[in-house]
Amino acid sequence: MSASSLHLLLLLLLVPHQHQLLQAAPLLVFLVDGFRYDYISDLTGLPGFRELVERGVKVDYLTPDFPSLSYPNYYSLMT
């Protein structure tokens, strides 16, 4: 087997794996509106939120662009 045939064979074997590596993982953004800043710090009575915090990412501090309006803040976070 020539070197060029070997390179072509290796390339054909790696192409499907490259496609899988380039796919982005799904992202779920969970926004909770109306929570005070200290509600999420006491997770004893909130087992569902405790699991989200343990398995995901939680923001410790956020300055809203529009303090009294939810949807403009959501759009600001997503862009």
The residues assigned a catalytic role are 70
DSSP assignment of the chain equals --HHHHHHHHHHHHHHHHHHHHSPPP-------S--TTTTT--TT-HHHHHHHHHS---S----SSTT-HHHHHHHHH-
